[in-house]
Amino acid sequence: MSNPIVGELIDLLQLERLEENLFRGQSRDIGTKYVFGGQVLGQALSAAQATVDSETSDRNAHSLHAYFLRAGDIEAPIVYQVDRTRDGGSFSVRRVTAIQHGKVIFFCAASFHTPEPGSEHQLSMPEVPRPEDIEPAPPLSPEELAKLPTKVQRWLDRSGPFEFRHVYPRDELNPPKRPPYQQVWFRLADKVGDDPELHRALLAYASDFHLLGTATFPHGISYYQPNVAMASLDHALWFHRPFRADDWLLYSIDSPSVQEARGLARGQIFDRHGKLVASTAQEGLIRVGKAG
């Protein structure tokens, strides 16, 4: 693997096993004030997948439902405790609790299913330009970066493990009011192996990018603004079909409602051939204080 940032993410998702159902994961500072929600999603799914043993090894994760309870400390490891809630004839359920400094910061339920034949349909992928036809976003100049709050500088002045190409780019520093939907192509910045469990954990990590931000579009605000506070409250993820996180995927997102300082966003993830591979939903906190 030639990209060290991708290698670092892979290491982050490969947890240390402390006991049969107990795991420890490290945290990575990606420029956010607290632990990035996608990191906890990916690590929790990795922990759950590690407890699907030889008797149920044919089962794949098909859904994840999570709640974020407390902000995570970037400087401290996270312990993941897995409860083997049920192993049935064709489904298994795992409940994962994430603990830091003796307190629960997150919990989720993940369901696994043995593949079986059945009817099939899907909604069509939106007609958008291919990722190769979209220019990567140019980096901000040092002068522009220096005008931003410290938290935003740290977030923007870095290269992440995923590459994003927005079909309809928005100026996040001076956001216009727009309808609450967007499409974003994304892929891992380097090739990795064929392990489907790794690719699902990588997609769980990436699914937290750009989702809640779509709910801010009609209001002309952005996470980059110092008077805007945003945080994920819950997250749902469904896996529909096989995919690779290191090939281009289209994230098609809309936000049906914002109210009482909470916004709801939904996403559909398609591969470059138009197959719907996953769906997401998230509610998050959106608070706007006085400017300046």
Active site residue 43: no
- Do the Cβ atoms of 187 and 248 come closer than 8 Å? yes
Q: How far is CA 149 from CA 5, 36, 71, 156, 161, in A?
A: 24, 18, 20, 11, 23
- The candidate with the shortest Cα–Cα distance to 280, out of 244, 245, 248, 238, is 238
Helix (H, G, I), strand (E, B) or coil at 163: strand
- Name 96's bridge partners: 82, 108
User: DSSP class of residue 41?
Assistant: H
Active site residue 208: yes
Active site residue 124: no
Catalytic one among 27, 100, 207, 208?
208
Q: What's the rounded Cα separation, in Å, for the pair 246 and 202?
A: 9
Q: What's the rounded Cα separation, in Å, for the pair 217 and 63?
A: 28
- The candidate with the shortest Cα–Cα distance to 112, out of 3, 239, 261, 215, is 239
Q: How far is CA 49 from CA 41, 43, 93, 197, 200, in A?
A: 12, 10, 10, 7, 10
Helix (H, G, I), strand (E, B) or coil at 253: strand
Catalytic one among 27, 43, 100, 232?
232
Catalytic one among 49, 92, 255, 282?
282
Q: What's the rounded Cα separation, in Å, for the pair 206 and 211?
A: 10
Catalytic residues: 208, 232, 282
